[in-house]
Amino acid sequence: MLFVEKKLGHDCTWIDLDVDKIKNMEDLSDVYGLDKETIEYALDRNERAHMDYNRETGTVTFIYNVLDLEKDKEYYEAIPMTFIVEKQRLITISNHKNTYVIKRMATYLESHEIISIYKFLFASLEIISNAYYPVIEEMDKSKDEISALLRQKTTKKNLFALSDLETGMVYLTAAAKQNRLLLEHIQGHALYRNLNEVEREQFDDAMIEAHQLVSMTDLISQVLQQLSASYNNILNNNLNDNLTTLTIISVLLAILAVITGFFGMNVPLPFADEPNAWVYILIASLILWAVLAQCLNCEKKLRKKEPEWRLKITCQILLWKQSMI
């Protein structure tokens, strides 16, 4: 079917148009009276969440960010979904990525036979917000698992997984904030003053869910950023340790090079006539080498203590933030 039409009561209807099944987009304009700008909104994957009010026709277009459950990439993203409110008709424009929202809206409608357009609209926005929570909880659990693996061994695979989580959470946080701004815009619009008490209650429920979603995504995003920064510091410290070790080796080898170079000069030298001179020189070199190696090793240990304290403090902060979720 190209569309789904259901009765809302009070001679109002809900029509869902599946753009994946509509071959000629001009049908949206000819059959349903949708203007070209609205169709462009519906087809633009990068359209941000906003509200557009047509004073001439009284039509209100809402673009709301919906979670993409298909996860085409290694992380989750949000896609826009279009809601068009006319006098006695609600039109949703969907595709295969947000079909699950349409199914949940239809399920909600089965238990609410008589419902106004705006109550159904705001209930749908609440349904969309609730769809984020299981995914966010899954991402939070994955964060803990990846963090535990990184504590055992820092590998590229785990670092890439942490990076994908951080990228996905950035997208979800931005989508949640845009949705909240849209609802705040509605609250300050003349449209809100024309809503009845039941519709305002449903709007308040949608607003509460939107605020809670922003708080959760923002907090987890901050935790992921701090985790990423912490492991980045750890990798930098490991690199510094490796460079320090190579420096120590080069300094120790330089001692032997200096000594052998000194006794290789074609001038009179101490112990030149001593048959066992090479033994004395070797023993002195080894002693000097051991003393210098011990000094450099002590200095390396002192430098290593500071990052460990920083990591402990960062972990304590992360544990405190997680307890606040």
Residue 113 exposure: Cα atoms within 13 Å on the Cβ side: 0
Closest CA to 199 of 125, 119, 115: 119
pLDDT tens by residue, 18-71: 887 776 666 666 666 777 777 777 777 778 888 888 887 788 889 999 999 887
Q: Name the pLDDT band for 2 (thresholds 50, 70, 90).
A: very low
23-36: pLDDT as tens digits: 666 666 666 677 77
- The residue ranking higher by pLDDT, 301 or 176, is 176
Tokens 């304590």 appear where? 316
Query: Which whole number is the average pLDDT over 138-149?
Result: 86
How many CB atoms lie under 10 A from the CB of residue 136?
Answer: 21
- pLDDT tens-digit series, residues 246-290: 776 777 677 667 766 766 666 666 666 667 766 777 787 778 777
Give the E-state strand segments of 72-155 in sequence order.
Answer: 77-85, 89-94
Distance CA 163, CA 165 (A): 5
Chain mean pLDDT for the chain: 80
Residues 6+ apart with CB under 8 A from 154: 231, 234, 235, 238
Q: Which CATH architecture has domain 3-233?
A: 2-Layer Sandwich (3.30)
pLDDT band at 303 (very low <50, low <70, confident <90, very high): low
pLDDT for position 1: 43
Domain ranges of the chain: 3-233, 236-323
Instruction: Give the residue-averaged pLDDT of 100-122.
Output: 88
Enter the pTM of the model. Answer: 0.74
Pick the residue with more confidence: 241 or 99?
99
